Amino acid sequence: MRIVLPRSIAQSLLLLFALSTPCALAQVEYVDPTIGNVAILLAPTRPAVYLPNSMVRMYPLREDALDGRIQAFPLTINAHRGDALFSIMPGNGAPAAYDQEVTTPYFYSTRFRTSGVTTEFTATERCGYFRFTFPTGEASLVLATHIAGDLSLADGNIIRGEEQFNGMKAYVYGVWSEPVSAAHEQNGANTSLKLSAKAGALEFRYAISFISTDQAKQNLQHEMPSNDFAAIKAAAKSRWNDTLGRITVEGGTEAQRRVFYTALYRSSERMINITEDGRYYSGFDHRVHTDARPFYVDNWLWDTFRALEPLQTLLHPSMEADKLQSYVRMYQQGGIMPTFANVSGPVACMNGNHAAPWFADAWFKGIHNFDLPTAYEGVRKRSLDSTLLPWRLGPKTPLDDFYAAHGYMPALRPGEQETYPQVHPFEKRQPVPVTLGNSFDDWSIAHLAGVLNKPDDERTFLTRAANYKNLFRPEKGLMWPKDDAGRWIEPLDPKFGGGMGGRDYYDENNAYTYTWDVGHDYAGLIEMMGGTGKAEANLDQLFREPLDHSRYEFQSKFPDSTSMVGQFSMGNEPSFAIPYIYDRLGAPWKTQERIRMLLDAFFTDTLQGIPGDEDGGGMSAFVVFSMMGFYPVTPGIPTYDIASPVFRKVTLHLENGKEFVIVAHNASRANKYVQGILLNGRPLNAVWFRHADIAQGGTLELTMSDTPNRELGAAPSSFPPDALSVRPWTF
């Protein structure tokens, strides 16, 4: 029988052959999806199969990689680390022991120990493909809804179904390769189909839709019209090689290449494109829209604005513009600019208005293909008219009026009862991170106002950008909460933070981390600390400061603050920029030393090789940047700090057809210090460069040594831009 593949698959297969060189194929082969599958404390990573930024994401449902039984396989999930939408399991549906697991970004397989049934999976953007091999006896499986819904079998091999979740529905349409019989069972709100067929190979092709079952059928016809598991698998592998091939590395160890490309794979999951034939269902107004541009969802900007979105801005600027425009659409449809944008709509989670630095960072790096005036309207409204309280969405409260008048979120004194019902009972006010985070966000809004020629707004938001200064306590050298009378909160242990999880005054970190979380004005922070010498001593002490509590006690209070070095937490995102602050203190060799130490200690090619919650690329993007040897310290300022590349050569293959090459002569584990820098052949005494230097193509050449160069980047005139007065459009 002649099989005609759709154009997208045929093109992908041609690309596979075009990329069939040892270098190109090596990239996907280095990915190990099991890295981090056993968590330090909280959520592990999963050995997920998906195409970059695609709707269908599948991984075996189990506790973690040490769990010897698989519960089922989801047809997809409703969000990163979210609930399964539909599930399938060979046998009678009970959890089963497994063996011989194979994990790649594009293909998964395992064999169940008792039955000997082999399960294989691969995917396209909106479709999944299971192949089950039953060695003996009758083939039996259970297909079920996972939350609430219905399933049916028609014509002996057609599956239709819907799953309700978070106020919307997902739909499935699937086709079995052989006739199956089904026994329908209802278990409360869930439906299960107990399926049976003759022994042997049994394949199940299916598509997911958020619009309708008929649209799911069209998705299947477009992307997976016939049974050819090998062709779909090959096309998926080709797609991954194309995506991972945006960056090629030479040198380093095998383990470092596995860590690097696995981090790049993790950084390529979100946001997901939910457009289906030019239409999408929006959870922000619960309507189906037609749009010439794709619509992306599933983002957690509390952390992803720091490194993940800047990485995608660098590698995939056209797609990034579509993501930004998706946020504009979300605001237009729902009336609020989201921070956490799930497929089902905006989610009240964490704190901050971090769409603002994302918009600003992209704009000042040359991404202009989105509606900036409407984006600005949305972030301005979120700052001035919506509540800043953590884990809340809605209009402003009296606490927000206090913030506007006094420049900080007021804290309750120990034992004082909360009087505002809008405050989350567990998450509390979090006055320090709320004040600091919104200072950064308002700084971003100020510069967007400057682009749009709104001088009054620019002045207003630049004033608000300095609010963080209201919580710096000079005699402590730390960010400290105040009550509504302006009095410092006492007694307070700055390492323990108050309340369950420290939420009374901080959130997932304590005063030692949040003191440095002012990336828009390190110069102002350093001045308040007493100058570069005192700030450098404070930063040194951060990495030495004892917990003053048992690890058990500390982690019970701060389970997100894992992988501690003194009071520095590698396992949580507000820490990412901290080692780079030495570049602003005339001691960049300490940045180089710290970054190498942190990478070596906490990011390994093992089951426990992630130091905290990876959060769908939020942490992995830090790894990608830092291993390449540079980092976007302040989103919104289009510059990068130079650190210590682990590879002797890194080539960025840019979307505009140009290449930016980083050459690190003599780079090794011992040779972690930068001795000299050439940018396009010209000596560079500063340890930073512009985004435009990358975009224009060129070469950054570093000479590495085992001895620090204490003169390089030591002069204040060479420090990276880091003050409230910086004008991003000048770089």
**pLDDT-based confidence at residue 16 (cuts at 50, 70, 90):** very low
d(CA 697, CA 691): 10
Residue 129 half-sphere exposure, CB side, CA atoms within 13 Å?
24
Task: Please say if the pLDDT value at position 340 is more than 80.
Answer: yes
Q: 14: which residues sit within 8 A by CB, 6+ positions away?
A: none
pLDDT average, residue stretch 410-416: 96
Is the per-residue pLDDT at 20 higher than 50? no
Q: Is the pLDDT of residue 11 over 50?
A: no
- What is the rounded CA–CA span in Å between residue 208 and residue 223? 11
Is this prediction's pTM over 0.75?
A: yes
Q: What is the mean pLDDT of residues 411-438?
A: 96
- Cβ-count burial 569-605 (b if 16+ within 10 Å, e if not): bbbbbbbbbbbbbbbbbbbbbbbbbbbbbbbeebbbb
Alpha carbon distances (Å) from 582 to 511, 522, 589, 704: 19, 11, 8, 18
DSSP sequence for 378-401: HHHHHHHTB---TT--SB--HHHH
Encode pLDDT of 26-65 as tens digits. Answer: 699 999 999 999 999 999 999 999 999 999 999 999 999 9
Q: What integer best gives the mean pLDDT of the chain?
A: 95
Q: What is the pLDDT confidence band of residue 345, given thresholds at 50, 70 and 90? A: very high
The CATH number of 48-243 is which of 1.10.10.60, 3.40.50.150, 2.70.98.10, 3.30.750.24?
2.70.98.10
- Evaluate if residue 501 carries a pLDDT over 80: no
If pLDDT is split at 50, 70 and 90, which confidence band does 18 have? very low
Instruction: Report residue 1's pLDDT band, with 50, 70 and 90 as the boundaries.
Output: very low
Other Cβ atoms closer than 10 A to 373: 12
For residues 248 and 27, is the Cβ–Cβ distance under 8 A?
A: yes
- Model confidence pLDDT, tens digit, residues 155-179: 999 999 999 999 999 999 999 999 9
DSSP state of 151: E
Q: Does residue 348 carry a pLDDT above 70?
A: yes
**10 has pLDDT over 60:** no
> Taking 80 as the threshold, does the pLDDT of residue 2 lie above it?
no
pLDDT of residue 502: 74
Within 13 Å of residue 378, how many CA atoms lie on the same side as its CB? Answer: 28
For the cut 60, the answer to whether the pLDDT of residue 13 exceeds it is no
Segments making up each domain of the chain, as ranges: 48-243, 254-730
> What is the pLDDT, as a whole number, of residue 499?
63
Confidence of residue 497 (pLDDT cuts 50, 70, 90): confident
Cβ atoms within 10 Å, residue 102: 11
Q: What is the mean pLDDT of residues 517-525?
A: 97
One fold for both 48-243 and 254-730? Answer: no
Q: What is the pLDDT of residue 15?
A: 39
* Averaged pLDDT for residues 354-362: 98
**Under CATH, what is the fold of the domain 254-730?**
Glycosyltransferase (1.50.10)
